[in-house]
């Protein structure tokens, strides 16, 4: 994941993380009509009816920032089979860590010379870099929203088109069986 610069996201919400209180702070992002229209266009949706993110922003280690929260949106996509509109509620949990570019925390996560970096697919994501003091938490929320969108929405009751599937090899007729039969006839 990468954090776009402030203003690049339709739901941009830059905050100054250098002035975070010790306990962190809660932010709520609610998209207005213009932002919803831009969000729909950015993600190739028929419509975005609502978008709300609640994010707790707090310090992580010395210079880092941890974001936790959730995104909830209501969108309309096009069914991949029937092209009918499909209304969907998108829910995503946010859990991300950001560190200043060039931070020792970021370098500690990179592999050393000849060393391998082992990443657990089920484990937490590695910290992402950002340019302090501003962090666009709206762009972060939008990324989690985009990852939660159904890539192949289907209208209720619509089945996938039947694909022609080749018969298994043992059930198919051997194309050389007829030649073999003619050869055996000729020998006999």
In 5-61, which ranges are E strands?
14-16, 25-30, 47-60
- Kindly report, residue by residue over 69-78, the tens digit of the pLDDT: 999 999 999 9
- Element (H or E) spanning 109, and its range? helix 104-109
Residue-range domain boundaries for the chain? 14-187
- pTM, 2 dp: 0.76
Q: What is the mean pLDDT of residues 45-63?
A: 95
Report the candidate in 145, 12, 153 with the shortest Cα–Cα distance to residue 78. Answer: 153
Distance CA 53, CA 69 (A): 7
Q: What is the mean pLDDT of residues 160-186?
A: 69
The residues, any chain, with a CB within 8 Å of residue 118's CB and separated by 6 or more, are: none
Compare 135 and 115 and report the one with higher pLDDT. Answer: 135
Q: What is the mean pLDDT of residues 151-178?
A: 73
Confidence check: pLDDT of 16 > 60: yes
Confidence check: pLDDT of 144 > 90: yes
Q: What is the mean pLDDT of residues 138-158?
A: 94
């Amino acid at each position: 994941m990468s954090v776009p610069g402030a203003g690049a996201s339709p739901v941009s919400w830059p905050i100054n993380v250098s002035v975070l209180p010790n306990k962190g702070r809660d932010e709520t992002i609610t998209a207005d009509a213009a932002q919803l229209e831009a969000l729909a266009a950015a993600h190739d949706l028929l419509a975005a009816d609502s978008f709300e993110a609640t994010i707790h922003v707090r310090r992580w280690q010395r210079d880092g920032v941890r974001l936790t929260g959730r995104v909830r949106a209501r969108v309309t996509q096009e069914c991949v089979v029937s092209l009918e509109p499909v209304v969907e509620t998108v829910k995503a949990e946010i859990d991300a860590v950001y560190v200043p570019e060039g931070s020792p925390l970021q370098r500690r996560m990179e592999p050393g010379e000849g060393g391998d970096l082992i990443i657990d697919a089920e484990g937490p994501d590695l910290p992402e870099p950002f340019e302090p003091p501003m962090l666009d938490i709206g762009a972060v929320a939008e990324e989690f929203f985009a990852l939660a969108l159904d890539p192949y929405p289907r209208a209720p009751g619509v089945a996938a088109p039947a694909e022609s599937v080749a018969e298994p090899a043992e059930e198919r007729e051997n194309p050389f069986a007829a030649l073999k039969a003619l050869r055996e006839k000729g020998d006999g």
